[in-house]
Amino acid sequence: MNYRWLLLVGMLATACGTSSTPVFVGADVDVVGAFLLDADASAATDVSAKPDVDSGCGVVTCGDGICASPCEASSDCPQDCAAAIAVDPTVLTWSGMAAGAKQSQNLMIHNEGTEPLIIKSILFTADGPGLTLDAIGGLTNVATSQNAVMLPVPVTVATFGTQVIALTALGVTVQAVTGTLTLYSNDPLATNGKSVPLHVYSDVACPTAKFVIAEGDVVVPQTTLHFNSTASVGSSGTAITKWLWTVTQPPGVAQTFSPSAWTANPKFVVDVTGEYEFCLNVVDTKQLQSCAQACQTVQVVPSDAVHIELLWDTPGAPTPTALGGATGADLDLHFANYLASNPDVDCDGTGDPWFNNPFDCFWFNPSPQWGSANPTIQDDPTLSEDATAGPGPEILDLQTPEGMPDLPRWYAIGAHVNNDHGFGVSNATITVSLFGAVALKIEKILMNSLNMWYVGKLNWPNQLTGTSTPPLTICYQTPGSKPGDVCAGNAKMWQPKGEWCITPNYKIP
């Protein structure tokens, strides 16, 4: 069986807002049983670079050779002075194509790092019976193997620049053909390449996946979504016999479908703020799969004035995100009233707010009574979700914070490693949302057993409510002369910049 794709490759570099000379890379390739690769200069697209971008770790200025970002390498935050590859879309799909018909789509390659991104090679694989090459038009040093072709590029993508690859698919005579495009670059966090799945579906009759979400597309955290796929139909009126649900969740979240991802009408709890994309593929009695999956996006937006989430992963646990019991490290979210005061363990000169009863809201005191005695005034926080292992979450909500312009108040936000259960270091992420919008997100902070992280203070009222006070005061400290010993090391907290305010060996007073 012979079927062919056209891969039209065109790239245009951009750098600090100035376009460079277009560089095009491609090949004229005849393929038996899989794909045809060809270059087309018209595929190039100029997408201007952004001169100043906040990487999530601080503003980095393009073009001056300065890497202002203080972050360390992680999957969510690019490494200092390094390239960082991203692609859009993450999956390319062609649907309903007649045999021999052509459709084109663009794949955008972004450099989100602070150094130029070098695309060193592109590996192209297919699921055909075998890939052989008759000719490589104009390219040298091309490595070939069965069912694969390696295209040496090398093309540079400027800092915060974008390259575009145009891919044109030919309709096939079978129901579906799949492949993968893998981009190899100098991104230190993508040493195994950046892979983009490719799917081509023919106009052969196939099932149609459809579903509805009873709760709609905008919900609050901790909502249980109910899915119904009865509108899905099989080819030629046949019945649907199999279902496969998938979800793309916010980073660090590992929620699953209930009772499973292979039932017609599952449920799913959206615990954490952010965007969730749910997709469904179906199979009918003829064993034909839906040509295109059905997808819907749900936005999870807090409704309370204050919403705080703690997520974490523990690489040394049996699974990095272990669910429940002593199968991972136990971290706890803390939210303390301005009246809270315990011994000064962190040596900042004032009493610590942590573990104070009744003025610290945490797992031991999840629903304190701090404010008005009037039950209609919702001015007390609630730890609405507690977890004993990663990924969490632990969630706190406060509908009406205390404080007035002439009598301002503040709340302390913290995270504590209650017990690592011998699994070692964890990576903690704190997200603070105010009036439904994310006001602060600090990701992947390394925490050891009994570490106490003083994230900062929530000020009320603040700029969001009509005063000049910043909503949040982040705690930074200078490094002490004795690492790991805050008091003896003369570390100073509440500095304009510095290290995170983490006190080691912080035991319950």
Side chain identity at residue 342, one-letter code:
N
Distance of CA 171 to the CA centre of its chain: 34
pLDDT of residue 92: 80
Q: Name the pLDDT band for 322 (thresholds 50, 70, 90).
A: low
Which residues, other chains included, contact 162 with Cβ-Cβ below 8 Å and sequence gap of 6+?
14, 47, 49, 108, 109, 110, 111
How many residues comprise the chain?
509
Q: Are 52 and 20 in contact (CB under 8 A)?
A: no
- The predicted pLDDT at position 200 comes to 74
Domains of the chain: residue spans and CATH:
6-202 (2.60.40.10), 212-300 (2.60.40.10), 306-503 (2.60.60)
Contact 12, 163 (CB under 8 A): yes
Taking residues 25-35, report their average pLDDT: 26
Q: Cβ-count burial of 89 within 10 angstroms (0-12 exposed, 13-18 middle, 19+ buried)?
A: exposed
The stretch 273-298 carries a mean pLDDT of 92
Q: Can you give the pLDDT at residue 450?
A: 95
How many other C-beta atoms are found inside a 10 Å radius of the C-beta of residue 127?
12
Q: How far apart are the first and last CA of the chain?
A: 74
Q: 12 versus 227: which is more confidently predicted?
A: 227
Contact 231, 210 (CB under 8 A): yes
pLDDT at residue 320 in the model: 65
Q: Is pLDDT of 363 > 50?
A: yes
In 3D space, the residue among 299, 230, 298, 291 whose CA is nearest the CA of residue 265 turns out to be: 230
Separation of alpha carbons 336 and 360, rounded Å = 4
Give all strands (DSSP E) within 349-451, no chain letters.
360-361, 382-385, 394-398, 409-419, 426-434, 437-447
The confidence score (pLDDT) of residue 122 equals 77
Choose among 310, 313, 347, 309: nearest CA to 329. Answer: 313
Whether 421 has a pLDDT exceeding 60, the answer reads yes
408 neighbors 461 (Cβ within 8 angstroms): yes
465/45: higher pLDDT = 465
